Amino acid sequence: MFMTTERFKMCVSTFGRDVQSLKDSVLKAISIGADVVEARLDYLEDLDANVLSSVLRPYMDKLILTLRPHYESGLFEGDEEERARILKRLSREAPAYVDIELRSPMFQDLLKELMKAGVTAIVSWHDFEKTPETDELRRIVSLAMSCGGIAKVVTMAKSFSDNLRILSLYRTDDKHRLIAFCMGAEGILSRFLSVMLGAPFMYVSLPGAPTAPGQPSITEARELIRILSSNYYGR
């Protein structure tokens, strides 16, 4: 059965250069009906964990906190120890999720801290150049899922077949713990189909403010789902 707009859960990815603009973006995402809001902390020019904790505390139950490092195309310029300290501090505010990179040298330390705080980890892995072969993708998914929480595997699509390869990962009993899709214009289809195949939500942006290649806005995504579902149920 086709998914309706009500069942199609969306995570709006937000950012700001300062804490106030980040808060404004979070509030805007919530006001237009985001199910979950990703706060991209690496966009902040001045990152103070205590200030962030105070400002974002009222919205933590809806937030994914993401502090993306340079080696995964993020903007955070500090070292891994500093990044881990910030995420550990913020995890004490009970956010809905904290995104931690499988490649991080501090991964095990961060995962242990999130488990102790009772926060669900999104264990992420990105390839901004290509979509690896299926065996490699399955190995990464298996490793990420073994850590508990949600596994997030995102690659760059260079052809239509890359969508098929990434979506084949949903042949698993744990599909509701998996977010797997392709970035780029060639990968837009996989973003929508991933949710239909079991992903807990789809990453979208505020209108005119994407945080990744090929990321549609929440209004564009809703309109497409509305058109498809109205045609499906009205046939």
Tell me the two tokens of residue 91.
């995890």
Backbone angles phi, psi at 224, to 5 degrees: -65, -45
d(CA 109, CA 121): 12
Tell me the two tokens of residue 165.
């390869």
d(CA 178, CA 199): 6
The one catalytic residue in 9, 126, 158, 176 is 126
Per DSSP, the three-state class of 108 is helix
- Strands ordered across the beta sheet of 36-40: 178-183, 150-156, 120-127, 97-101, 63-66, 36-40, 10-15, 202-205
d(CA 188, CA 169): 17
- Measured between alpha carbons, how far is residue 158 from residues 3, 9, 38, 186 in Å? 27, 26, 26, 6
Instruction: Please say if 126 is a catalytic residue.
Output: yes
- Measured between alpha carbons, how far is residue 64 from residues 132, 157, 228 in Å? 26, 25, 29
Q: How many whole angstroms from its chain centre is CA 9?
A: 12
The one catalytic residue in 152, 158, 175, 176 is 152
Which positions are annotated as active-site residues? Answer: 126, 152
